[in-house]
Amino acid sequence: MANATIIEIEDMITVGTLAEQLMLPVGRVIGELMKNGVMATVNERIDFDTATIIVGELGLDVELKKKEAAAPVVATREKTSHSDTAVGRPPVIAVMGHVDHGKTSLLDRIRGANVVKGEAGGITQHISAYQIEHTYNGETRKITFLDTPGHEAFAAIREHGALLTDIVIIVVAADDGVKPQTIEAIRFARKAGVRIVVAMNKMDKEGANPDRVKQELSEQDLLIEDWGGDIVLMPVSAKTGEGVPALLDMLLLVSDVEELKADVAIPGRGLIIEAHVEQGRGPVAHALVESGTVKPGDFVVAGSSYAKIRNLETTDGKPTKAATPSTPVVITGFKTLPEFGDEFTVVKDEKAARAESAATATGKKNAGGRLDMNSSELIRMINRNNKVEEFNIIIKADVQGSLTSVMDSLKALDTDEVAVRVVGSGVGTITENDVHMAHTSDAVIYGFGVALPSGIKQHASRDKVSIRLYKVIYELIDDVREELTKRLAPEIVETDLGRLVVKGIFKTTKTEVICGGEVTKGKLVTPALAKVMRGNEKIADVEVTGLKRGPNDAKEIFESEMCGMSIKTANRVELQEGDHIELFTRQTVARSL
């Protein structure tokens, strides 16, 4: 890679911008990301490490460099507040570490044993944060855990998990030691400026080797207390539960040292960490209160949405009268679905709520938000994690029997990439309420054997809600299938055109080569993409920008003809006689289910 082109990119880059910088069709980059298990659309951001991996996989002669940020923005949570009304708040904890080192088991163990008991509501929704109670020094106190994703493939998510937290528990398996993702987790926690507590897990295992773990941590400049440093290391076993209470003690001790405080006597504010529509409840948002107090009946603004809080609940479904800092809550009453990562604030009345949310909707607001865009992006990524592309629908049918068969047929359409999400269903005509629900959840309404009253039709067209009526099941299913197909990432298809054997090189600059040779296979056309092959090895990806037959420009050159060829290169390519230039076209092709 001595001659590799160096491209400077930001820490996070959108897929579209990356493709542009690499001069590749965006579908190619999306395709490569998919191959690596990352579903990202053109406007979504990936982090530097991911971009580097992708560039490597694409076989480009390009080296990515991180642009030095002029002023790095690190969103750390407000640790202390100096106002008179500031009181202690529970710590917010995230768990990170190498895959299979026991993050999920540890969170399950902590949660199972200590979670704040609520009426078991049987809610199977993913809970994005929860609180436990733990008694330390005779005092029962709360600890908030962010349920960070188990999906470990890509660094950005972990990085962003850290930005929302006070303490990161880095889980290291005692029998496996420090691994690449452990190192990343350490790096991210440091960058975010949060306290690190190491949980040395799997202590019950025979192969546990604490000394090796300590040694390897020290190699990462993580000096534990035994070794004269200030990093706390707690030996635990998520399997037997051994050491877990001591770990929780330690979290409280560390948070005491950090003096985590927040004001409670001010209007509440915080972050939306998850939002979805629930049948019968409308938009439901999970939020983490950062400061102030939130109460039922309060008016809150989150991005372009607002609510008069109808129900304020703990994350396990228990009604609560007030939520104070570091508390994760469930809020209902939003008029429209707020977005992951929106900052929410309590405002004085409906008028203010309406005005502020409308201002955001028209893009005027967002001054004064304490968390920078990165954090919201991150939360969005956390929530997007592992998710398939969903098509939201509401189904209304004439009778229960047909509703059941429509729903069953729809289920069969789901794949790993795309899925139908039924946000509402029922028997009977389409109502105002259905239209409202479709509007807030960006859903299409399907009616099977039902009528559409004209008033509802008008309402739907005003709200730009699509209502599709069917009388034949398979036609309805076909329509849904078509919608899902549109959501599939396109396939990249390369078609070979022809091959030139280089017989002479006439000009070589950093970005251009002019050469001549003989067509030994197929047909050459211009413009086209090409690979330069030396023996079996590809030495460059290039673009063919011109062909000449004798002195004249040509559009096509056929097998066994001689021709001249102009090539555009991303960086200098030293062609040699005997090299093969293989021309091909690349197309993105829509896929079907």
Q: How far is the CB of 159 from ligand GDP (least distance, A)?
A: 17
Tell me: does residue 205 bind ligand GDP (CB under 6 A): yes
Q: Rounded to the nearest whole angstrom, what is the least distance from the CB of residue 63 to ligand GDP in the complex?
A: 32
Report d(CA 448, CA 443) in Å as an integer. Answer: 16
State the alpha helices, DSSP H only, in 273-394. Answer: 350-361, 373-384
Matching residue, tokens 């037959």: 549
Between 90 and 177, CB nearer to ligand GDP? 177
**C-alpha to C-alpha distance for 581 and 532, rounded to whole angstroms:** 5
- Cβ proximity to ligand GDP, 102 vs 303, nearer residue: 102
* Contact region with ligand GDP (CB under 6 A), list: 102-110, 160-168, 209-217, 374-382: 102-110
| Binding pattern for the stretch 172-201 against ligand GDP, x by CB under 6 A and - elsewhere | -----------------------------x
Instruction: Give strand pairing partners of 319.
Output: 313
- Shortest distance, CB of residue 194 to ligand GDP, whole angstroms? 19
Dihedral of CA atoms 134, 137, 140, 144 in degrees, nearest 10, equals -40
Q: What's the half-sphere exposure (Cβ side, CA atoms, 13 Å) at 30?
A: 17
By CB under 6 A, tell whether 100 contacts ligand GDP: yes
CB of 384 to ligand GDP, least distance (A): 19
Nearest distance, CB of residue 90 and ligand GDP, angstroms: 23
E strand or H helix that includes residue 121: none
Closer residue to ligand GDP (CB): 204 or 398: 204
- How many residues are there in the chain? 593
Count of beta carbons in the 10 Å neighbourhood of residue 517: 24
C-alpha closest to that of 512 among 533, 540, 534: 540
- Closest by Cα among 164, 209, 155, 223 to 184: 155
Neighbouring CB atoms inside 10 A of 538's CB total 14
Q: How far is the CB of 47 from ligand GDP (least distance, A)?
A: 20
| Residue 90 in the binding site for ligand GDP (CB under 6 A) | no
Binding flag, residue 202, ligand GDP (CB under 6 A): yes
> Cα(490)–Cα(592) distance, rounded to whole angstroms?
9
CA dist 591 and 593 (Å) reads 7
Name which position in 37, 121, 150, 578 contacts ligand GDP (CB under 6 A). 150
Tell me whether residue 181 or residue 327 sits nearer to ligand GDP (CB atom).
181
CB of 106 to ligand GDP, least distance (A): 7
Can you list the alpha helix ranges (DSSP code H) found in 101-243? 103-114, 155-163, 180-191, 210-219
How many angstroms separate the CA atoms of 294 and 299, rounded? 9
Binder among 27, 90, 91, 102 for ligand GDP (CB under 6 A): 102
Stretch that binds ligand GDP, among 93-101, 387-395, 442-450, 504-512 (CB under 6 A): 93-101
Binding window for ligand GDP (CB under 6 A); candidates: 101-109, 309-317, 540-548, 572-580: 101-109
Measured from the CB atom, the residue of 100 and 133 that comes closer to ligand GDP is 100
Closer residue to ligand GDP, CB minimum distance, 59 or 150: 150
Neighbours of 34 (CB within 10 A): 15
* Pairing of β 418-427 and β 389-397: parallel
Nearer of residues 129 and 200 to ligand GDP, judged by Cβ: 200
Residue whose CB is less far from ligand GDP, 245 or 449: 245
The four Cα atoms 517, 518, 523, 528 give a dihedral, to 10 degrees, of -10
The SS3 assignment for 148 reads: coil
Nearer to ligand GDP, 102 or 328 (CB): 102
Site mask for ligand GDP (CB under 6 A), range 212-241, x = bound: -------------------------xxx--
Q: What is the C-alpha separation between 161 and 179, in angstroms, rounded?
A: 19
As measured in angstroms, the least distance from the Cβ of 390 to ligand GDP is 25
Specify whether the CB–CB gap between 242 and 294 falls below 8 A. Answer: no
Judged by CB, which is closer to ligand GDP: 131, or 237? Answer: 237
How buried is 37 (Cβ within 10 angstroms: 0-12 exposed, 13-18 middle, 19+ buried)?
Answer: exposed
Helix axis angle for 103-114 and 244-258, nearest 10°, is: 90
User: Which is closer to ligand GDP, CB of 172 or CB of 289?
Assistant: 172
Q: For residues 68 and 206, which CB has a smaller minimum distance to ligand GDP in the complex?
A: 206
Out of 39, 58, 74, 99, the only residue in the binding site for ligand GDP (CB under 6 A) is 99
Stretch that binds ligand GDP, among 58-66, 96-104, 210-218, 398-406 (CB under 6 A): 96-104
Is 105 an interacting residue with respect to ligand GDP (CB under 6 A)? Answer: yes
Q: Which of 410, 457, 448 is nearest to 426 (CA)?
A: 448
Q: Which is nearer to ligand GDP, 101 or 261 (CB)?
A: 101
Reading across the β-sheet that carries 299-302, which strands appear in turn? Answer: 305-308, 299-302, 343-347, 269-278, 282-291, 328-332, 312-314
Are 303 and 321 in contact, with CB atoms under 8 Å apart? no
In this chain, which of 14, 21, 52, 104 binds ligand GDP, going by CB under 6 A? 104
- Is residue 153 part of the contact set for ligand GDP (CB under 6 A)? no
| 151 is a contact residue toward ligand GDP (CB under 6 A) | no
Task: Let me know: does 288 contact 271? Beta carbons within 8 Å.
Answer: yes
CB of 242 to ligand GDP, least distance (A): 8
Range in contact with ligand GDP (rule: CB under 6 A) among 97-105, 157-165, 398-406, 488-496 = 97-105
Q: With respect to ligand GDP, which residue has the nearer C-beta, 152 or 541?
A: 152
Give the residue, chosen from 133, 204, 442, 543, that forms a contact with ligand GDP under the rule CB under 6 A: 204
Q: Please list every residue from 236 through 275 that binds ligand GDP, using CB under 6 A.
A: 237-239
Alpha-carbon distance of 387 to 128, in angstroms, equals: 14
Site for ligand GDP in 430-489 (CB under 6 A): none
How many Cα neighbours within 13 Å face the side chain of 248?
28
Positions touching ligand GDP (CB under 6 A) are 97, 99-105, 150, 201-202, 204-205, 237-239
